[in-house]
Every structure is written in C-alpha cells, then in structure tokens.
C-alpha cells in the first residue's frame, strides 16, 4: 500500500550522519592539524572514537549523572580524554578549541544541499538534532544548509531519543504528529518519532562510519519512505 | 566617539514594525476580506486596535493572570473582541483562522530583505521576537527573510522586555552580551537589551503606525547605531 503522505507539512531532520559527514570532515581537519603540528595518529580511528563517546556522554546527562551539558561541552570533555589516549600532548587551548569546533564545520553529503533546496519549496525544514543551537547555526551558515527552523535537543534539555525533544518541536510547529516526517539515517531515531505518531523517512548512509564499516541499513517495513539520499527523498515526495 | 562595533558577531532583530509592516498588510488583507464578504469597516482603525491589544495581552501573561499563551492565541482572543466591537458578525471559523493568520503573512519593509542579505554575509542574524515560533517560520518562508536562527520569546516563556528572553538567546548563541547587537524600531526593546550589555541599533520606522501617526523617533544618545532602514544599517556596518 502506498503510504499517505499528503498531510505532511514539515520535515524534521537528524543532522549528524544524515545531513553531514562528520567522519570525513574530522579526518581531513585532523590530518591538516597533524601535518602542521607534527602529530602522527590515525585520524580515522580518532574520529570514530570521538563519535563513539557521543551516546555514552548523552546517556550520562539523561540519567542525571551530569547536569544539563550541551553537545559542545560533551565533545570537549571527550576530546580531552581522547588526546591523552592517543598520546597527543602540547596542543594549546586555542588549538583544542579550534579542533572541538570541527563539529560546527562538518561538510554536508553531496546530495544534502540540492535535496534540501528542493524539499524547502514545499515543506518546512527543521533540524531535530542533539547538536546545540550555536553548533547548528554555525554549521548551517558554513555549509549553506537552508533550514527554515533550527531546533535542538538543547531547547528541550532532553537528548533524542527522549520523547520530549520530538514533542517540543511538534508543539512549536503547532502541527499534529502525523503532519511531521522525521528524516534520519538511524532506525532508533525514526522509531522514537514513530512512537509519537510522526511519519518516518529512512535515508541510507552506507559511508557514515567509513568505507570499511557495515552499518545497519535495514529499512523497517513501518518506515513510510526509504531513500538513498536527500535528492531521492525529494523525488519520492514529488519534487 | 565612534562606537566600537568590531566585536559584534550576531544581530538580534525585533520583527513586528522593525522588519515587517503589519499595518499595511492587515489593511490590505482586511479590505480584500471585506470586499469578498460585504464587510465595510475602517480596516486601518481595526489594524491599529488589534496591535493596540498586543502589549496589554502580553502584560496579562507576564503578571500571571493568564498561563503561558503564545502570540497566535493572544491575537485570536483579541480578534474575537474586536470583531464584536467593530460590529462584524457571520465570519466562519475558517475565515477567522485565515484572518488571524495574517500575522504569519506580514510583508517586509522594502529595505528588509536586501538589508538582511547584506548583513547575513558577516553576522549571525537571529530573530528576538514576541511572535511565536510557528508564526516566525511561516513569515520567513512567505517573505523570504533569510534568518540564521529563529528565536522567540515563546522559547523563554517570557515576553520582551523581560530580560529572560534576551538572556536565553545570548546563552544559546554562546556569546558575550557585547557581541550581540539588538536591532529594533522601539526604544524600550533596545534599552532592555542594553541593560544586559547588548549593543543597540535603532531603526527609524516613521510609517509603522501609519502616515498620520507621529511615532517617537528619538534616538537615545546611548544607542550605538541609528539607521534609517536595514540597508542603511548594513552600510553603517561596512557592508
């Protein structure tokens, strides 16, 4: 049966991995920093380890072991640990701040900007990201991401997949849940949105974790759309 | 002495009156509705009366006489009263919703879009408006306002000039107060921002209240910039 998507008015986007390619950007910036400073480490392993701290850090906040901490601060705490673990010493405070800021400069996948521009002609495009507001603002400005609304878990003080993040966006948009479609490369994010009545579009990003990784690309039959990228999503939505 | 504006990184904009011309838009839509439905009232007086309920409505919320109520709902409550007052009856629920939605379709002053596009090349452009998020999203999409961030008093649950609204935007942007410049056509808005350490740009909008009105265009000597419009503001900021 064809899913009925006629009532969808807004698309809510996961950002890290779905819209931007954090791994390639971090490797590229790390290698430049390494060449300039004589640091020889495996930047791909570093990027994977940094991203690997993401979920555990947010879980600590959501369990109440940490007070509310935005993603920039969680990234920075993880960075300090990883620099020690990878044996990198001697970075100045300014260099560390610059490196932590790489998350503000992540590059979009090649299809992201053209796909979003097409989708924007019919839908309200909102971020629904665990990235903090400033991070998302800088990223959008740097990468030319044409959001209509930057919404962040920071505003709900609840990281996805906590339902409060999705619910708050829905309330601000003054839409019914089934008028919003979550767009993400991650099944758990989509399922959390579906639990609240959102529609779900799964975007396959086979390279999110690098060319050697084997990510879970299983499309749950309950997903309303399965797209190979954001241009394909636009096409499937008739744009 | 020339004000030092070198450290300014973000501009926070008042919207109603400063960026968009609510009076002309409401009069135009009202007249169209009136012609279609045989309603003969003074739409300019209606627009002025509607805007006149704005501050008292928000004050009731801020005094705790009403629970948090977003601006769409405050506009709607005022609309019901004004329709009765102006002797307009027989509008359907759909027509009332459509009329209340005029605030989502307000037209920008002629200089607003070109001015914002120039300012966007150097600064983060954020709204700092009492309009609710959905209203501001619709307005931006409809009028082509190129905001980097839509921020609303709704997120702070405190209407300007309550300091919580300004402070929350400052915290989300992770900037010092003096790195943000408030841009507004209203002195009280600018003074509230200045009290927190923001810079202030006064934009003169002599026609905000119509051609017969005599608005207060007194530029406080403490304002950092006084501009005739947003293109002039861009020029004064070197763009």
Q: Select the residue of A133, A141, A172 nearest B134 (Cβ to Cβ).
A: A172
CA-based nearest distance A218→chain B, Å = 34
Instruction: Place B1 in a pLDDT band, splitting at 50, 70 and 90.
Output: very low
The CATH class, in words, for B22-105 is mainly alpha
Enumerate the residues of chain B whose CB falls inside 8 A of the CB of residue A174. Answer: 72, 132, 134
pLDDT-wise least confident of A67-76, A206-215, B142-151, B179-188: A206-215
Q: Which pLDDT band holds residue B131 (cuts at 50, 70, 90)?
A: very high
Interface of B with A in 68-107 (CB under 8 A): 72
Residue A53 has pLDDT above 90, yes or no: yes
Out of A72, A149, A154, the one facing B150 most closely (by C-beta) is A149
Superfamily of domain A22-104: Putative phosphatase; domain 2 (1.10.150.240)
> Check: CATH 3.40.50.1000 for B10-21+107-236?
yes
Would the CB atoms of B133 and A173 count as touching at under 8 Å? yes
Q: Name the residue in chain B with its Cα closest to that of A120.
A: B141
Confidence of residue B188 (pLDDT cuts 50, 70, 90): very high
In chain A, the percentage of residues whose pLDDT exceeds 90 is: 89
The reply to whether residue A140 touches residue B132, judged by beta carbons under 8 angstroms, is no
- Total Cβ atoms within 10 A of residue A67: 7
* Backbone φ and ψ of B186, nearest 5°: -125, 125
Where in the sequence of chain B do the CATH 3.40.50.1000 domains occur?
10-21+107-236
Q: Give dist(CA A76, CA B98) in Å, integer.
A: 48
**Ranges of CATH 1.10.150.240 domains, chain B:** 22-105
| Average pLDDT of chain A, as a whole number | 95
Q: Flag if B137 and A174 touch (Cβ within 8 Å).
A: no
B99-123 mean pLDDT: 98
Average pLDDT estimate for B151-156 = 98
Q: How far is B134 from chain A, CA to nearest CA, in Å?
A: 5
Is B133 in Cβ contact with A148 (below 8 Å)? Answer: no
Nearest to A148 among B72, B141, B174 (CB): B141
∠ CA B68-B69-B75, nearest 5°, is: 160
Q: Is the pLDDT at B38 greater than 90, yes or no?
A: no
Strands (E), B56-188: 124-127, 180-184
Q: Which residues of A85-108 are buried (b: 16+ CB within 10 A; e: fewer)?
A: eeebeebeeeeeeebbebbbbbbb
B103: which chain A residues are within 8 Å (Cβ-Cβ)? Answer: none
Length of chain B: 239
Closest Cα partner for A103 from A146, A132, A123, A68? A132
CATH 3.40.50.1000 boundaries in chain A: 10-21+106-236
Cα A26 to Cα A102: distance, rounded to the nearest angstrom:
7
Across the interface, do B134 and A174 touch by the CB < 8 Å criterion? yes
The chain-wide mean pLDDT, for chain B, equals 95
Chain A residue at shortest CA distance from B71: A172
CATH for the stretch A10-21+106-236 = 3.40.50.1000
A112-166 pLDDT, tens per residue? Answer: 999 999 999 999 999 999 999 999 999 999 999 999 999 999 999 999 999 999 9
Is residue A1's pLDDT more than 60?
no
CATH 1.10.150.240 intervals, chain A: 22-104
Helix H or strand E segment including B115: helix B112-120
| Cα A105 to Cα A29: distance, rounded to the nearest angstrom | 10
List CB contacts (< 8 A) between B150 and chain A: 148-150
**pLDDT reading at B3 higher than 70:** no
Q: Which residues of chain A make contact with B131, given a CB cutoff of 8 A?
A: none
| Statement: residue A2 has pLDDT above 70 | no
């Amino acid at each position: 049966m064809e899913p009925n998507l006629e009532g969808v008015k807004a698309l809510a986007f996961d950002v890290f991995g779905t819209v931007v390619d954090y791994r390639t950007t971090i490797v590229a910036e790390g290698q430049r920093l390494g060449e300039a400073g004589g640091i020889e480490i495996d930047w791909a392993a570093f990027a994977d380890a940094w991203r690997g701290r993401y979920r555990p850090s947010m879980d600590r906040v959501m369990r109440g072991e940490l007070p509310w901490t935005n993603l920039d601060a969680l990234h920075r705490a993880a960075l300090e640990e990883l620099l020690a673990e990878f044996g990198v010493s001697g970075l100045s405070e300014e260099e560390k701040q610059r490196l932590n800021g790489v998350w503000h400069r992540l590059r979009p996948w090649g299809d992201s900007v053209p796909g979003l521009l097409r989708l924007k002609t019919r839908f309200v495009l909102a971020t629904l990201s665990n990235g903090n507001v400033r991070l998302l603002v800088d990223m959008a400005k740097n990468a030319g991401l044409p959001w209509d609304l930057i919404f962040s878990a920071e505003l709900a003080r609840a990281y996805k997949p906590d339902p409060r993040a999705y619910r708050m966006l829905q309330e601000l948009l003054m839409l019914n849940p089934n008028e919003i479609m979550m767009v993400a490369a991650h099944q758990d994010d989509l399922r959390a949105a579906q639990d609240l009545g959102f529609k779900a579009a799964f975007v396959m990003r086979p390279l999110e974790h690098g060319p050697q990784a084997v990510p879970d690309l299983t499309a749950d039959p309950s997903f309303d759309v399965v797209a190979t990228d954001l241009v394909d999503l636009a096409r499937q939505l008739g744009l």
